[in-house]
Amino acid sequence: MNHSKTHHATIRNTDQGGIMIEGPISSSELQAYQFHEHLTAFRPPTQQHEALIKIADFPEGRIIIAHHNQTIIGYVTYLYPDPMERWAEQNIEELIVLGAIEVAPAYRGYGIASGLLEISMRDPFMENYIVISTEYYWHWDLKRTKLSVWEYRKVMEKMMAAGGLKPAPTDDPEIISHPANCLMVRIGSNVKEETVKQFDQLRFLKKYRFQKTRGDL
């Protein structure tokens, strides 16, 4: 698969000035930016900056950033599933994961996260992908926001809707371990029906394996 990437950009006006949201961004472009010191949701800022640079070099890797002057204050990543996850089991080349989305606390409340997702989907090539995001309540910023898990999930679903992602059922053990967890999915308009069927098998892997075993009897 030739992973075509077309750059798009927009400016979000805030009381802190204009925030540029753009991407996909290349690894060399990412290296030219500073990384906000409060982008710490996944790992220390320097390490996360390096991780984004590596992802940008993957054939399928996509990094969309929000920056204030020369400082990255938010980002979203897209890449293939981790080989150890169930979503990689059938090697569906049209399946990519929204791996991380983060906005520095001082810049939240301006719709930056929604803007990152909206810019992501402006690229027509995204219609060739099934995009998924696995949402676990223990990753949510409940302490800072003072929201309940259900209030936070409602906010999260509204944000994801800006990128066309919607909740979808699955039998994944981690996701069904708590009712607030969920799988978010966007199926591009160019994705073939047989690919969607493969994905459905991954969503309900336990059922699929049971049916396959019975079929071999």
Stated pTM of the model? 0.92
Instruction: Extract the runs of DSSP E, i.e. beta strands, from 28-80.
Output: 34-35, 62-68, 71-79
* pLDDT for residue 216: 55
Please check whether residue 162 lies inside any domain of the structure: yes
Q: Is residue 157 part of a domain?
A: yes
Residue 113 placed within a domain: yes
Question: Which domain, by its residues, includes 128?
Answer: 8-215
Residue 68's pLDDT is 95
| Residue 134 belongs to a domain | yes
Q: What is the pLDDT of residue 214?
A: 53
What is the pLDDT, as a whole number, of residue 211? 63
Q: 211: alpha, beta or left, given left = phi > 0 and alpha = psi -120 to 50?
A: alpha
Specify if 1 maps to a domain. Answer: no
Q: Is residue 148 part of a domain?
A: yes
Residue 3 falls inside a structural domain: no
CATH value at residue 211: 3.40.630.30
Q: How many domains does the chain have?
A: 1
In a domain, 130, yes or no: yes
Distance in angstroms (rounded) separating the CA atoms of residues 94 and 18: 35
d(CA 105, CA 124): 31
Asked if residue 78 lies in contact with residue 62, where contact means CB atoms within 8 angstroms, the answer is yes
- pLDDT by 10-residue block (mean), the chain, 217 residues: 96 95 97 96 95 97 97 98 93 96 94 97 98 94 91 95 97 95 98 96 80 56
- pLDDT of amino acid 141: 87
